[in-house]
């Protein structure tokens, strides 16, 4: 079986020695090419070339951003013609690894590699549904508003060599909350063909559950959403402290059930549209895509085969 291992050497939990061990183990069973990413978008370019070359398995070793780039690269090649889509393999190497953990894969990269090799030997895999935000695929979440502001600020601090930790995310989320709580609601949400809902502060879109992790603790925003359903939607009418704290506490307890007077929660949604009276930031899988005034979200069932 031909495979390409796409490695992000800057990922939080990767080391040169660990990458060598993983590559050696995979090469013992696969006809393997290894590519270490050198620039933003390199993982996407590599995955696209792998699909065009007829590779059987594309393995992403890095964090959720690396996985997202690989997935988008694979589909960019598949969209050009009648190409056979390779299977995706994931070896976690980031700080959160939400997609891998939602699939039940081990957090330890070496254990995940052995699990991947067993899956290849047994031809074991599953189809997963994905989400799309306009033309960008996402594997586990996307959002407009609060979470996108947090992602943008964490990216800014990372660019200044700040070490990314759950504590940094928590502090950043708190500071963004206080800033946004003073702002007017700018978002309208239309779910399917329903009437739009106006004056929202944030819209969170899930492709699976948990939404993310705070260290080892799962954040359960849409408990009825999985890779086998449509999208989950959670939106906030206001940013008042007490109901927001209620939501956060419920999510950390694993309930994820909102207070209906302050929020909207829906599951198994096939299509939704978000519009903003002023451009707001959009994030997908923890990657900020800049500001948008309108975004179409779609659920794509059984979009990709993943080795598990």
- If asked whether residues 180 and 292 sit together in one domain, one would say yes
pLDDT tens, N- to C-terminus, the chain (308 residues): 999 999 999 887 888 899 999 999 999 999 999 999 999 999 999 999 999 999 999 999 999 999 999 999 999 987 666 678 999 999 999 888 999 999 999 999 999 999 999 999 999 999 999 999 999 999 999 999 999 999 999 989 888 878 888 888 889 998 999 998 889 999 999 999 999 999 999 999 999 999 998 888 899 999 999 999 999 999 999 888 878 888 888 888 776 555 556 899 999 999 999 999 999 999 999 999 999 999 999 999 999 999 99
Q: How many domains does the chain have?
A: 2
pLDDT for position 192: 96
For residue 194, the enclosing domain spans 141-302
In a domain, residue 131? The reply is: no
In a domain, residue 6? The reply is: yes
- If asked whether residues 55 and 101 sit together in one domain, one would say yes
- If asked whether residues 111 and 146 sit together in one domain, one would say no
pLDDT for position 30: 97
- If asked whether residues 189 and 259 sit together in one domain, one would say yes
Q: What is the CATH number of the domain that holds 248?
A: 2.60.200.40
- If asked whether residues 114 and 254 sit together in one domain, one would say no
Q: What is the CATH number of the domain that holds 80?
A: 3.40.50.10330
| Entry pTM | 0.93
In a domain, residue 250? The reply is: yes
- If asked whether residues 107 and 24 sit together in one domain, one would say yes
**3 state SS for the chain:** CEEEEEECCCCCCCCHHHHHHHHHHHHCCCEEEEEECCCCCHHHHHHHHHHHCCCCEEEEEECHHHHHHHHHHHHHHHCCCCCCCCEEEEEECCCCCHHHHHCCCCCCHHHHHHHHHHHHHCCCEEEEEEEEECCEEECCEEEECHHHHHHHHHHHHHHCCCCCCHHHHHHHHHHHHHHHHCCCCCEEEEECCCCCEEEECEEEEECCCCCEEECCEEECCCCCCCCCCCEEEEEECCCCHHHHHHHHHHHHCCCCCCCCCCEEEEEEECEEEEEEEEEEEEEECCEEEEEEEEEEEEEEEEEEEEEC
- If asked whether residues 117 and 174 sit together in one domain, one would say no
In a domain, residue 134? The reply is: no
- If asked whether residues 42 and 81 sit together in one domain, one would say yes
């Amino acid at each position: 079986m031909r495979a390409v291992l796409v490695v992000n050497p800057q990922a939080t939990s990767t080391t040169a020695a660990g990458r060598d061990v993983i590559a050696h183990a995979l090469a013992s069973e696969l006809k393997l090419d290894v590519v270490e990413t050198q620039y933003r978008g390199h993982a996407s370019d590599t995955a696209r070339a792998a699909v065009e070359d007829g590779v059987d398995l594309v393995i992403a070793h890095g964090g959720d951003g690396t996985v997202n780039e690989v997935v988008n690269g694979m589909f960019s090649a598949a969209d050009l013609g009648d190409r056979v889509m390779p299977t995706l393999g994931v070896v976690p190497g980031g700080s959160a690894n939400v997609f891998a953990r939602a699939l039940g894969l081990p957090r330890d990269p070496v254990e995940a590699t052995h699990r991947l090799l067993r899956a290849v030997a047994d031809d074991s895999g599953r189809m997963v549904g994905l989400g799309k935000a306009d033309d960008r695929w996402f594997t586990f979440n996307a959002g407009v508003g609060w979470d996108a502001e947090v992602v943008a600020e964490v990216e800014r601090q990372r660019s200044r060599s700040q070490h990314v930790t759950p504590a940094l995310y928590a502090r950043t989320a708190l500071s963004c909350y206080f800033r946004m709580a003073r702002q007017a609601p700018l978002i309208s949400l239309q779910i399917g063909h329903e009437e739009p809902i106006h004056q929202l502060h944030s819209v969170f879109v899930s492709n699976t559950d948990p939404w993310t992790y705070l260290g080892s603790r799962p954040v359960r925003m849409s408990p009825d959403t999985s890779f086998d359903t449509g999208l989950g939607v959670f939106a906030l009418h206001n940013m008042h402290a007490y109901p927001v704290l209620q939501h956060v506490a419920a999510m950390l307890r694993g309930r994820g059930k909102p207070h209906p007077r302050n929020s909207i929660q829906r599951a198994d949604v096939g299509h939704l549209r978000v519009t903003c009276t002023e451009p707001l930031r959009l994030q997908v899988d923890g990657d900020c895509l800049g500001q948008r005034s309108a975004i179409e979200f779609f659920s794509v069932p059984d979009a990709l085969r993943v080795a598990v």
